[in-house]
């Protein structure tokens, strides 16, 4: 039985370039398709002057698609390496380290973003760009699992021994932040550890195959250029650990709330609505919990004022809900009119954007823009927020560049 497994492992290693080329080829096709589809989706933002997050998202997708396409051709043209590992652990760690990032796609994003959407998008774009830069110099020396073909010491390899893994690490951190949950941050740590393991296996193989690699290792660091002092590296580790530890705080809420607490909550909701900030899912659930008790709470002046504003705004959103067709690609006249009324009230009544909510305001704005309606500066600003929030929630198309 052990001989069968050894023969199977050797067969897979002999044809690993073809296997990975097929897999990455399928992913590359899907990535180019995603780029075309996303360009159409984001067009409504671009024509209204919302450029930041849509263009960054498209750039990430384009870089990722280009990277995978180039790799497919490299793998198809790859010859037999001078040396490789015959044992399973180095090869498995490389394969798992390359594809574990797809687990980010099954994680549900946080209701409230951990950071601004621009931070993870910049990390994703920078990571993909570094990977492409390294690939340009690596070329046929590239492999998914550790293999020795030649020593590359120019381009980005003058500064670090593993620039492709540096790009991967930036992408992994970006994915953890864009999902923004504790599980995503821990998955980031696991993926980062796998990148380190891949690099160590490669160093050992190259050092045992090429005499000059030992001298190269002595003058070039694995992940940080020599200009980065140990103090800077320690600070980066401390900051990363602080972010992860800070996100692990557990929120608790009291089962019973006093009258003064409810008044403070209503005042906070009212201020947030008038400030034009989106409500979180937790706040929406808290507000929904007042349903059926609002008459009693109206004796609290702050709650009475907020409930009056909420009734005005919710009436327009309810019209959208009740007229929503099964097939949104063929909206009814009532549904179109309901969305027009919602957009109008969001534009005219302060606070209605927040109370009606992202799930109804943003589709209504996109519908009006696609129908050629001119949006006011206020509505264009809201559309920009819709772009940032929606891009933050579509993580599945942003995970390709971390391979």
pLDDT at 190: 92
Q: Is residue 9 part of a domain?
A: yes
Show the tokens assigned to 222.
């694995």
pLDDT at 130: 93
Residues 130 and 167 in one domain: yes
Q: Is residue 381 part of a domain?
A: no
CATH number at residue 60: 1.20.120.1630
Cα separation, 274 vs 188, whole angstroms: 37
Cα separation, 29 vs 17, whole angstroms: 18
Residues 127 and 224 in one domain: yes
- The total of other beta-carbon atoms located within 10 Å of residue 256's CB is 5
Residues 349 and 285 in one domain: yes
Cα separation, 297 vs 119, whole angstroms: 41
Residues 220 and 300 in one domain: no
Q: Is residue 99 part of a domain?
A: yes
What are the 10-residue block averages of pLDDT along the chain, 403 residues in total?
Answer: 55 70 88 89 86 88 90 86 82 83 83 82 92 90 85 90 92 90 90 91 90 87 72 50 45 46 81 81 74 72 81 79 76 84 86 81 85 85 82 48 33
Q: Is residue 338 part of a domain?
A: yes
pLDDT at 103: 86
Cα Rg of the chain, angstroms: 26
How many domains does the chain contain in total? 2
Q: Is residue 379 part of a domain?
A: no
Cα separation, 332 vs 325, whole angstroms: 7
Does residue 332 come out as left (phi exceeding 0), alpha (psi in the -120 to 50 range) or beta? beta
Q: How far apart are the first and last CA of the chain?
A: 33
Q: Is residue 72 part of a domain?
A: yes
- CB–CB of 342/320 below 8 Å? yes
- CB–CB of 216/155 below 8 Å? no
Residues 146 and 191 in one domain: yes
What's the chain's length in residues? 403
Return the sign of the alpha-carbon dihedral for residues 236, 238, 244, 249: negative
Cα separation, 290 vs 276, whole angstroms: 22
Residues 218 and 319 in one domain: no
- CB–CB of 50/73 below 8 Å? no
pLDDT at 234: 52
Residues 115 and 219 in one domain: yes
Cα separation, 234 vs 362, whole angstroms: 42
pLDDT at 275: 83
Cα separation, 401 vs 87, whole angstroms: 28
Residues 89 and 168 in one domain: yes
Q: 221 φ, ψ to 5°?
A: -75, 165
Judge if pTM exceeds 0.85: no
Residues 111 and 234 in one domain: yes
Domain that holds residue 301: 259-372
Cα separation, 60 vs 79, whole angstroms: 30
Cα separation, 345 vs 335, whole angstroms: 15
Residues 68 and 207 in one domain: yes
Residues 216 and 277 in one domain: no
Give the single-character DSSP code of 160: B
Q: Is residue 382 part of a domain?
A: no
Residues 289 and 151 in one domain: no
């Amino acid at each position: 039985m052990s001989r069968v497994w050894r023969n199977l492992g050797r067969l897979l290693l002999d044809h690993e370039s073809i296997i990975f080329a097929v897999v990455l080829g399928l992913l590359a096709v899907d990535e180019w398709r995603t780029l075309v589809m996303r360009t159409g989706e984001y067009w409504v933002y671009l024509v209204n002057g919302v450029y930041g997050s849509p263009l960054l998202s498209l750039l990430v997708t384009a870089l990722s698609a280009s990277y995978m396409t180039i790799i497919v051709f490299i793998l198809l043209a790859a010859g037999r390496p001078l040396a490789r590992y015959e044992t399973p652990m180095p090869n498995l760690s490389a394969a798992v380290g390359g594809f574990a990032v797809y687990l980010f796609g099954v994680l549900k994003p946080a209701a409230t973003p951990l950071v601004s959407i621009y931070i993870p998008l910049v990390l994703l774009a920078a990571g993909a760009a570094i990977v492409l830069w390294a690939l340009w110099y690596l070329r046929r020396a590239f492999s998914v699992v550790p293999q020795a073909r030649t020593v590359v010491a120019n381009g980005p390899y003058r500064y670090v021994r593993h620039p492709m893994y540096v790009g991967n690490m930036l992408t992994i951190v970006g994915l953890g932040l864009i999902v923004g949950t504790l599980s995503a941050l821990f998955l980031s740590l696991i993926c980062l550890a796998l990148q380190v393991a891949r690099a160590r296996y490669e160093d050992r193989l190259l050092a045992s195959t090429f005499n000059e690699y030992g001298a190269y290792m002595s003058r070039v660091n694995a992940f940080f250029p020599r200009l980065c002092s140990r103090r800077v590296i320690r600070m980066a580790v401390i900051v990363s650990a602080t972010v992860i530890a800070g996100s692990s705080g557990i929120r608790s809420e009291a089962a019973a709330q006093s009258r003064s607490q409810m008044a403070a909550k209503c005042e906070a909701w009212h201020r947030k609505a008038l400030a034009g900030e989106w409500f979180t899912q937790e706040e929406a659930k808290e507000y929904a919990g007042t349903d059926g008790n609002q008459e009693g709470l109206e004796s609290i002046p702050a709650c009475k004022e907020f409930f009056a504003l909420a009734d005005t705004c919710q009436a327009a959103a309810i019209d959208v809900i009740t007229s929503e067709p099964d097939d949104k690609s063929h909206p009814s006249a009532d549904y179109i009119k309901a969305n027009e009324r919602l957009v109008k009230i969001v534009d005219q009544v302060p606070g209605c954007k927040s109370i009606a909510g992202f799930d109804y305001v943003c589709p209504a704005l996109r519908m009006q823009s696609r129908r050629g309606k001119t949006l006011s500066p206020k509505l264009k600003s809201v559309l920009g927020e819709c772009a940032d929030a929606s891009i933050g929630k579509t993580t599945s198309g942003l995970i390709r560049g971390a391979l």
